[in-house]
Amino acid sequence: MALVLTNTLGGRKEPFESLVPGEVRMYHCGPTVKEHLNVAKFRSYLLADLLRRCFEYAGCRVVQVMNITDVGQLNEFEEDIVEIAASRTGLSAVELVEKEERIFHADRRALHIRDATHYPRAREHVAEMIAVIADLEKRGRTYEAAGNIYFDIRKSPRFGELAGKPAEDLERLLAGKKQPPGKRHLLDIDLWRRDVLHQTHWPSPWGRGFPGWHVECVAMSRKYLEGSFDIHTGTCENVFPHHECEIAQSEALTGKPLARYWLHTGPVLVDGLPMTRDNRNVMTARQMLDAGFRGSVIRAALLSVHHREVLDFGEAAMDRARPRVNTILAFHEHLKEATTGAPRPELRRKGSPAPWIEETETRFRAALDDDLDYPRALEAVLGAIGKLEPEDIGDPRQALEALERWDRVLGILA
RNA sequence: GGCGGCAUAGCCAAGUGGUAAGGCAACGGUUUGCAAAACCGUCAUCCCCGGUUCAAAUCCGGGUGCCGCCUCCA
């Protein structure tokens, strides 16, 4: 495997090499289960799934951790975002996150996203988060102000490296923003918020309250991946502040790089417009499934351009993806029919695969090795099927085997 | 303002130094009782200007346009 990946940290393509030979360990930013997840989020989960499938295709062992955020966070008005969402539905915060977590798993299975190794829930890891904060405190990286605990960003000189922005730039941009009383520096990170007014709070050495925005992923990757791993993924919107803050905290803890490679999915538009609440064009996977679109078609549409590029999603994207999926399904059906019943004697002996299979395999692997180019890999298979004359198929069992092997990465059949 | 991405026909799009895939649409034709379908055919000096090279959509520099991010999102 000669895989090359574009690393957001540095912005270049780099040859991939895992920390432990033959094993790849990854952390994926997962859903906040307060509402149905939009397709941009699913795009990043599909990137995680694609990585996993590619590594397994290459024979590597894979460990995947995807967090489930089910702890209330505060918005700029000091309101708990989970509680706000819950209040609109008449459910309690806990009932809401349990329901939405079930929906998340159902939807991701519909898109043929395989089960990660671990789906840690933030709510069940508050003790680990408190341990992280205590550790940071012991190392002199925190301070207290008005009862809250903050991470002191000035002791992290590399802050801003992932986003490619010097810390001074970030500061300047935030200059106008309202700050909680006592917070020393604009970029300082919330670690523990003392608060008993909201539905969810826990006891801690700093009083009852709840953990800050970014400490959750730090604690969970530390627990399941021992603080240093191969690949961290998310959407482009996670780069700053979330991933930047994760790096600062984790590296303050271990002195080692948190992840060697950072991969992010590009922005999603809907019919040419940014998918935002203001544009009223947010599309969720649930909506699409309810509207009768097949999961495999939604999957193909979300993977129809390279993961770093802008994706223009919408009906047109679905219309383009549908015939591609159908081509794969129809060819698969055709091969299954050709291989059922008594094996024909002339096919019993396995020779070397038909030339088209080897050619396609080569193009398929080259595409994936080149920064996980799923569209090109799919095109290699579709192009081969399209040009194939019946007499060139060769042993249909070998063709079936090849198609199902490619689909272990493509995920259209399963 | 800072940082990043993209630019190939009416639309979608392949292309990773060697005379520009494919699909949709359109147009012409064959077939057809009409229509549809099917089949055949037609349809691009690759955003602009410079540079490197025997050779550039492809590499380099500059420009233009569009898009994204910059504390609701984890």
Q: Domain residue spans in chain A?
A: 17-265, 311-410
The band of A395, judged by pLDDT with boundaries at 50, 70 and 90, is confident
Element housing A187 (H / E)? none
Q: Is the Cβ atom of A97 within 7 Å of strand B at any atom?
A: no
Which 295-354 residues of chain A approach strand B with CB closer than 7 Å? 305, 308-310, 312, 316, 320, 323
Which 67-96 residues of chain A approach strand B with CB closer than 7 Å? 67, 69, 73, 75-76, 81
Query: Lowest mean pLDDT: which of A239-243, A278-282, A343-347, A392-396?
Result: A343-347
C-alpha distance from residue A123 to each of A68, A92, A193 (Å): 9, 15, 15
The band of A37, judged by pLDDT with boundaries at 50, 70 and 90, is very high
Q: Per the structure block, which two tokens stand in for A75?
A: 């918005």
Give the bridge partners for A94, in sequence order: none
Q: Per the structure block, which two tokens stand in for A304?
A: 């129809």
The band of A326, judged by pLDDT with boundaries at 50, 70 and 90, is confident
On the question of pLDDT at A77 being above 90, the answer is no
A229, A19 contact by CB (below 8 A): yes
**In which order are the strands placed within the sheet that holds A23-28?**
A61-66, A23-28, A229-235, A259-265
Query: Which nucleotide is nearest, taking the CA of residue A380 and each C1'?
Result: B14
Which candidate, A136, A118, A160, A144, places its Cα nearest to that of A218?
A: A136
**Mean pLDDT taken over chain A:** 88
The band of A363, judged by pLDDT with boundaries at 50, 70 and 90, is confident
On the question of pLDDT at A61 being above 80, the answer is yes
Element housing A65 (H / E)? strand A61-66
Which candidate, A75, A63, A66, A77, places its Cα nearest to that of A33?
A: A66
A382, A407 contact by CB (below 8 A): no
On the question of pLDDT at A324 being above 80, the answer is yes
Average pLDDT, stretch A223-245? Answer: 92
Bigger pLDDT: A386 vs A221: A221
Average pLDDT, stretch A228-235? Answer: 94
Query: What's A311-410's CATH class?
Result: mainly alpha
A30-65: burial string, b at 16+ Cβ within 10 Å, e else: bbbbbbbbbbbbbbbbbbbbbbbbbbebbebebbbb
A258, A232 contact by CB (below 8 A): yes
Which residue type does A60 have?
Answer: C
How far, in Å, is the CA of A125 from the C1' of nucleotide B12?
Answer: 46
Query: Lowest mean pLDDT: which of A95-104, A125-134, A311-320?
Result: A311-320
Question: Which pLDDT score is estimated for A348?
Answer: 47
Q: Is the Cβ atom of A31 within 7 Å of strand B at any atom?
A: yes
How far, in Å, is the CA of A126 from the C1' of nucleotide B53?
Answer: 62
The band of A391, judged by pLDDT with boundaries at 50, 70 and 90, is confident
- Nucleotides in chain B with any atom closer than 7 Å to protein CB: 1-6, 12-16, 21-23, 67-74
On the question of pLDDT at A377 being above 60, the answer is yes
Distance CA A134, CA A230 (A): 26
On the question of pLDDT at A343 being above 70, the answer is no
Q: Residue A411: which region, alpha, beta or left (left: phi > 0; alpha: psi -120 to 50)?
A: left
How far, in Å, is the CA of A306 from the C1' of nucleotide B54?
Answer: 35
Q: Is the Cβ atom of A29 within 7 Å of strand B at any atom?
A: yes
Write down the CATH number for the domain with range A17-265: 3.40.50.620
Q: Is the Cβ atom of A65 within 7 Å of strand B at any atom?
A: no
Distance CA A71, CA A199 (A): 10
Question: Which pLDDT score is estimated for A81?
Answer: 85
